[in-house]
Amino acid sequence: MNDRAWEELIDLIDTKYTIDDSNRLEEKLEDNPGFSKKIERIEFEKDNIKYRIDRVTSPAIVDKKTHYHHKGSADRIQFVYDPTETTSKIVFYQMLADGHFNEISPESMLS
């Protein structure tokens, strides 16, 4: 999702439901600490249910290398990242009764 579409989504949610919390995080990639991903997060409430939407922007994967064990099975997979190009994805969550967020499909928010 590009920046403009993300801003439009935030404005729409804020107008219709009011955003309760928003923040930005940066985390190192587990498999390559030289790169990091950025997480833009908003939380809001709809019909007394709390939702969270994360926009995760990370370096684009340009190659995937599979390292094999000497017995022929895949030992580990190593991703090669582009230092300049990024990709973004949107992840939707719904808060459970125990206070933890569970990933949901965007369609489930429409009901």
The domain total for the chain is: 1
Cα separation, 24 vs 26, whole angstroms: 7
Average pLDDT, the chain: 92
Identity at 82, one-letter amino acid code: D
Give residue 78's pLDDT: 85
Contact, 35 vs 58, CB < 8 A? yes
Whether 17 shows a pLDDT value over 90: the answer reads yes
Give residue 66's pLDDT: 85
Give residue 69's pLDDT: 76
User: Long-range contact list for 27-30, CB < 8 A, 24+ apart?
Assistant: 29/58, 29/59, 29/81
Whether 14 shows a pLDDT value over 80: the answer reads yes
Cα separation, 78 vs 40, whole angstroms: 26
pTM score over 0.85: no
Domain range enclosing 35: 3-109
